């Protein structure tokens, strides 16, 4: 696994915090591992809660009909890239 | 309309000659068309409690001759001409669908929906939720058509009432606002407390919704009032269960009591309230505790203790606890609803040789993901009475203590 960037680590902390994943160490999330289903096994309620936490922290509204967005929620790395791009 | 009927007829002729179909179409137009085609072909739509491969597989085993539509890879329908646009007659006694609910034993329990059940139920629902609308209502749903709430509103209402349904299922708050903006007035939003709470908290605002219909979980009066005030709309809360369909409604911002449709008779019995109706194949024991207050009114008191409802899915705690305790390495454990208000379940577990990730990993293949407890806290032993019965109040207290200690770390 390639290490997390500083922003990715911040996002990992937000994710663990917002979703109450007490068994997950933010620094241990593989940035290229799938967040949903396999990997961390998040579900659709998590997606809504995570989206809300992202809206509150980075002031961006997520949209599922955006094709990039479907890709964005794939891994920590793609989600962070989406946020960096849209909060600029 | 003519085009839709022609397409459904054409699709009906192309469907495999099997008795049961699982319709996974996410596009609501395609779902509705495939549902109608199945009706025309005399096939029964199975409504699985979730889309997990294991669930679909076990349903296919219980119902031999089941096939799946809407997973992609199907041929597209060639252009059809609307030469026969007469509205087809579906026999009253035809088995239209089977909805599954989790029973206390863990095996999903089938609820048979005959066409007459859907017909009478939907006519009653139209009067309850559409307020005698004189013009066509434009409906948008955030809930999937595969769930009974989505089926009764977004699929059946358009077949029986002046309702046009949007084919999209928006998920994030901004998507909901954009999809609503694309619709002509009057607009009705069909949703659930989880989606509505996210909409409220996101700060995304959209006005011009005539009405919001919500079901699947209790809606707080605060959220109902906040939605009404900030979106300039009315929020109608809908009460029902998969066995009975939509039973009652109220405007939660203002009303305490639920008003139920008079096609149902509610009777208090020793076991709880029994619902009977001419259109239901059998009487239904309500999974909730209610108090009948007037001829067509009741007050909701609570759920039967064992049942929980997370994100519109009903599950039995007793069953989840059985699954938890059958995991190798678990000495003892309990899954319960904490008082933290997170909307999730929690667990206290005694398992000296397992870590939390092991436990969650093992549970993931045994119970629906929405019921996965978080947090899972390991303890040396559970508070039990001498009789062996778990003291749930002591479990909650111990959890509150350990959980706040965890958060301080």
Nearest to B311 among A19, A41, A45 (CB): A45
pLDDT value of position A49 = 87
Q: Note whether residue B108 is domain-resident.
A: no
DSSP B199: H
Q: What does the alpha-carbon distance between residue B32 and residue B37 come to, in Å, rounded to a whole number?
A: 8
Count: domains in chain B: 3
Last residue of a domain, one of B303, B336, B360: B303
What does DSSP say about strands B297-303 and B288-294: parallel, antiparallel, or unpaired? antiparallel
Nearest to A63 among B174, B201, B203 (CB): B174
Q: What does the alpha-carbon distance between residue B211 and residue B101 come to, in Å, rounded to a whole number?
A: 28
Please say whether the structural domain A6-86 has been given the CATH code 1.20.1090.10: no
Q: Give the domain CATH number at B384.
A: 3.30.300.30
Same domain, B277 and B380: no
Nearest to A61 among B173, B311, B344 (CB): B173
Q: With contacts defined as CB-CB under 8 Å, which chain A residues touch B374?
A: 19-22
Sheet holding B272-276, edge to edge: B265-269, B272-276, B284-285
CB of A1 within 8 Å of any CB in chain B? no
pLDDT value of position B338 = 87
Same domain, B129 and B254: yes
* Cβ contact A48–B360 (<8 Å): no
Q: With contacts defined as CB-CB under 8 Å, which chain B residues touch A23?
A: 355-357, 360, 375-376
Same domain, B298 and B314: no
Q: Note whether residue B231 is domain-resident.
A: yes
Give the structural domain span for B322: 307-408
* Cβ contact A22–B198 (<8 Å): no
Nearest to A43 among B174, B202, B369 (CB): B369
Which residues does chain A have with pLDDT short of 50? none
Q: With contacts defined as CB-CB under 8 Å, which chain A residues touch B310?
A: 45
pLDDT value of position A88 = 64
CA angle B218/B339/B358 to nearest 5° reads 105
Last residue of a domain, one of B303, B325, B355: B303
Quote the minimal CA–CA distance from A11 to chain B in Å. Answer: 18
CB of A38 within 8 Å of any CB in chain B? no
The dihedrals phi and psi of B131, each to the nearest 5 degrees, come to 50, 45
* Cβ contact B369–A22 (<8 Å): no
Q: What does the alpha-carbon distance between residue A36 and residue A39 come to, in Å, rounded to a whole number?
A: 6
* Cβ contact B343–A45 (<8 Å): yes
Contacts for B267 with CB less than 8 Å, ≥ 6 apart: B273, B274, B276
Reported as half-sphere exposure (CB side, CA atoms, 13 A), residue B37 has a value of 25
What was the ipTM of the complex prediction? 0.76
* Cβ contact A48–B194 (<8 Å): yes
Decide if B49 contacts B313 (C-beta within 8 A). Answer: yes
CA-wise closest residue to B19 among B47, B39, B49, B48: B39
Same domain, B271 and B130: yes
Last residue of a domain, one of B303, B333, B351: B303
Nearest C-alpha in A relative to B178: A63
Nearest to A20 among B311, B342, B360 (CB): B342
pLDDT value of position A11 = 94
Nearest to B175 among A21, A44, A64 (CB): A64
Decide if B350 contacts B378 (C-beta within 8 A). Answer: yes
Nearest C-alpha in A relative to B202: A52
* Cβ contact A43–B204 (<8 Å): no
pLDDT value of position A1 = 59
Same domain, B65 and B140: no
Q: Note whether residue B55 is domain-resident.
A: yes
Decide if B115 contacts B96 (C-beta within 8 A). Answer: yes
Q: Which residues pair with B288 in a beta bridge?
A: B303
Q: What does the alpha-carbon distance between residue B250 and residue B234 come to, in Å, rounded to a whole number?
A: 11
pLDDT value of position B374 = 85
Q: Which residues pair with A63 in a beta bridge?
A: none
Q: Which of A21, A52, A53, A83 to mutate to test the interface with B (most CBs of B within 10 A)?
A: A52
pLDDT value of position B103 = 53
What does DSSP say about strands B20-23 and B44-47: parallel, antiparallel, or unpaired? parallel
Same domain, B75 and B185: no
Contacts for B211 with CB less than 8 Å, ≥ 6 apart: B131, B188, B189, B233, B234, B235, B236
Which residues does chain B have with pLDDT short of 50? 104
């Amino acid at each position: 696994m390639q290490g997390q960037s500083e922003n990715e680590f911040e996002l990992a902390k937000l994710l663990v915090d917002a979703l109450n994943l007490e068994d997950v160490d933010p620094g241990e999330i593989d940035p290229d591992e799938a967040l949903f289903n396999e990997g961390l096994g998040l579900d659709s309620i998590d997606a809504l809660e995570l989206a809300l936490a992202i809206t509150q922290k980075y002031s961006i509204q997520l949209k599922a009909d955006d094709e990039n967005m479907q890709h964005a929620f794939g891994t920590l790395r793609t989600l962070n890239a989406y946020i960096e791009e849209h909060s600029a | 309309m003519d085009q839709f009927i022609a397409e459904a007829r054409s699709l009906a002729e192309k469907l495999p000659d099997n008795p049961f179909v699982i319709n996974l179409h996410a596009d609501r137009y395609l779902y509705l068309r495939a549902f109608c085609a199945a009706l025309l072909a005399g096939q029964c739509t199975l409504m699985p409690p979730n889309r997990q491969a294991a669930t679909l597989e076990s349903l296919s085993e219980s119902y031999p001759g089941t096939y799946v539509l809407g997973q992609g890879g199907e041929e597209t329908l060639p252009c059809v001409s609307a030469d026969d646009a007469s509205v087809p007659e579906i026999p009253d006694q035809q088995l239209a669908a089977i909805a599954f609910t989790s029973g206390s034993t863990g095996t999903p329990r089938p609820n048979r929906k005959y066409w007459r059940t859907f017909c009478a139920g939907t006519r009653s629902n139209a009067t309850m939720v559409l307020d005698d609308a004189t013009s066509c209502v434009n409906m948008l749903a955030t809930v999937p058509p595969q769930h009974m709430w989505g089926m009764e509103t977004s699929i059946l209402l358009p077949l029986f009432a002046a309702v046009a349904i949007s084919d999209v299922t928006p998920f994030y708050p901004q998507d909901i606002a954009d999809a609503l903006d694309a619709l002509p007035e009057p607009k009705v939003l069909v949703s659930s407390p989880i989606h509505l709470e996210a909409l409220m908290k996101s700060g995304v605002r959209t006005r011009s919704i005539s009405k919001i219909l919500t079901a699947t979980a209790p809606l707080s009066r605060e959220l109902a009032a906040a939605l009404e005030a900030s979106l300039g709309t009315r929020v109608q809360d809908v009460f029902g269960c998969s066995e009975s369909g939509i039973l009652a409604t109220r405007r939660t911002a203002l009303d305490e009591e639920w008003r139920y449709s008079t096609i149902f008779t509610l009777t208090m019995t020793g076991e709880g309230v029994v619902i009977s109706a001419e259109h239901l194949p059998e009487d239904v024991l309500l999974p909730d505790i209610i108090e009948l207050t007037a001829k067509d009114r009741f007050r909701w008191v609570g759920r039967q203790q064992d049942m929980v409802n997370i994100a519109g899915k009903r599950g039995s705690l007793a069953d989840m606890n059985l699954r938890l305790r059958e995991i190798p390495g678990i000495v003892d454990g309990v899954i319960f609803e904490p008082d933290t208000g997170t909307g999730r379940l929690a667990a206290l577990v005694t398992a000296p040789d397992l870590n939390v990730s092991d436990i969650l990993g093992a549970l993931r293949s045994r119970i629906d993901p929405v019921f996965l407890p978080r947090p899972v806290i390991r303890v040396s032993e559970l508070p039990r009475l001498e009789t062996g019965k778990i003291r749930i109040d002591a479990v909650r207290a111990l959890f509150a203590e350990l959980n706040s200690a965890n958060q301080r770390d």
